[in-house]
Amino acid sequence: MIPGQFDYHAPTTVQEAVQLLQEHGDEAKVLAGGHSLVPLMRLRLAAPSVLVDINRIPELRGINRTNGTVTIGATTTHATIERSEVLKRVLPMLPAAATVIGDPMVRNRGTFGGSLAHADPAGDWPAVALALNAEMRIVGPDGERTVPAGEFFVDLLTSAVEPGELLTHVSIPVPGGNVGMSYQKFGHPASGYAVTGVAAIVTLYENNYCLDCSIAITGAGTKATRATETENALRNQTLDEATMAQAAEQAGTGIDFLGDIYASEEYRQQLVKVYTKRALLAALHAANEGQSAEAQKTL
C-alpha cells in the first residue's frame, strides 16, 4: 500500500526539530530509522500529516565515552553499535545485542533511540537499556530532562517521551569490577523480534561470589521489565548452574504475560525461565573469562 500525503521536514538542530513538533502537535511524527513508522504508514495504521526527519542533526549521532559514562546519540544505527570497538571493550552486551537485531538492512538503517522511543514490547534494546541502568536525555519545549530506563518504558508502545519532545541521547554508566554481561533471545525466525529476550549482568568477587546483578526481560509482557525477584535471589550468593537455575524460576514474577500467534502465555513463561538461565550462565562465563584475561596481563 501507499502512505497518505504528508509534509516533510528535515531540521538540522534539535531546537528546530522540537519547534516543528510543538508547532504541529499530534499531527507530527519523528522519523529516525523508519523501520517501525514507515510500515505502519504503508498499512495506513499511522497517517501523520507531518514527518520530522531527525537524521540531519549531527549532534544526535555517535558514541562517546567520558570518564565512567558512555553516551550514544539517538540516531546512531544498530550497525554502528555493532562495530564499535569502544563498546566491545566496556559494554560488550550492546554490540552483541546489535548483531541479533533484524537483518543487515535493518541494522544499517534502524536507530538506537528510535527503537527505545518506540517501546515495542518485542524490541531488544529496552531490556538491554534496563539491565545497564541507562538514562534517557529528552529535550522538549520546556527544556531538557533525564529519565532513568526504569521509568522510561511506560506500557505497550508507550515511552516517557511526551508529545513535542525528542529523545536525543542515552547515557550508560560503565560498570566497574569483575563484570560479565550477556543478552540471549529466542527470536522470531522471520522478523527477528524477540519472542523472549533476557539481558543479564553479574558483578563478581572471589570464587564466583555475586556482589550485584541486574536482569531485564523483553518480549514477554507489554513492556520490558526487571526480574527483581531473581536479582534478589542471586545477590550475595556463590553462583553456579544450580543456583542460577533456581533463581531463574522466579524471573517471570510480576509479568502479565502476552499470548499471541507466536507463543502462548504458558510458553513465554517457560521461555523466560530458560533464557534467564542462559543469559546468567553466559554472563558468569564472560566475567570469568575477563578475570582470566586480567590474570594473564599480570604474568
pLDDT tens across 118-149, in order?
999 999 999 999 999 999 999 999 999 999 99
CATH code of residue 280: 3.30.390.50
Whether 230 and 249 map to the same domain: the answer is yes
Query: What is the per-residue pLDDT for 298?
Result: 37
Phi, psi dihedral angles at 24 (to 5 degrees): -100, -10
Q: Is residue 2 part of a domain?
A: no
pLDDT at 296 over 50: no
Number of structural domains found in the chain: 3
- Find, among 67, 93, 72, the residue nearest to 172 by Cα: 72
CB 117 within 8 A of CB 161: yes
Which of residues 150, 173, 196 is at a domain's end?
173
Query: What is the per-residue pLDDT for 89?
Result: 96
Query: What is the per-residue pLDDT for 136?
Result: 98
pLDDT at 55 over 50: yes
Whether 183 and 128 map to the same domain: the answer is no
Percentage of the chain modeled with pLDDT above 90? 91
pLDDT at 278 over 60: yes
Q: DSSP label at 230?
A: H
Whether 16 and 73 map to the same domain: the answer is no
Residue 290 pLDDT class (50, 70, 90 cuts): confident
CATH code of residue 49: 3.30.43.10
Which of residues 173, 194, 218 is at a domain's end?
173
What are the DSSP E strand ranges found in 188-258?
Answer: 194-204, 210-218, 225-226
Mean pLDDT of the chain: 95
Query: What is the per-residue pLDDT for 2?
Result: 84
- Residue 285: CB atoms within 10 Å: 12
And the C-alpha cell for 53?
A: 526527519
Residue 214 pLDDT class (50, 70, 90 cuts): very high
pLDDT at 47 over 70: yes
Whether 234 and 158 map to the same domain: the answer is no
Which of residues 144, 173, 202 is at a domain's end?
173
Query: What is the per-residue pLDDT for 1?
Result: 67
Q: Is residue 288 part of a domain?
A: yes
Whether 47 and 92 map to the same domain: the answer is no
Whether 147 and 228 map to the same domain: the answer is no
**What CA–CA distance (Å, rounded) separates 67 from 244?**
33
Q: Is residue 132 part of a domain?
A: yes
- Residue 163: CB atoms within 10 Å: 11
Q: Which domain holds residue 213?
A: 178-298
Whether 125 and 200 map to the same domain: the answer is no
| 11-15, 186-190, 194-198, 274-278: least confidently modelled range | 186-190
**What CA–CA distance (Å, rounded) separates 119 from 131?**
15
More confident residue, 299 or 68: 68
Query: What is the per-residue pLDDT for 295?
Result: 43
CATH code of residue 151: 3.30.465.10
For the full predicted model, state whether its pTM sits above 0.75.
yes
Residue 3 pLDDT class (50, 70, 90 cuts): confident
Query: What is the per-residue pLDDT for 299?
Result: 37
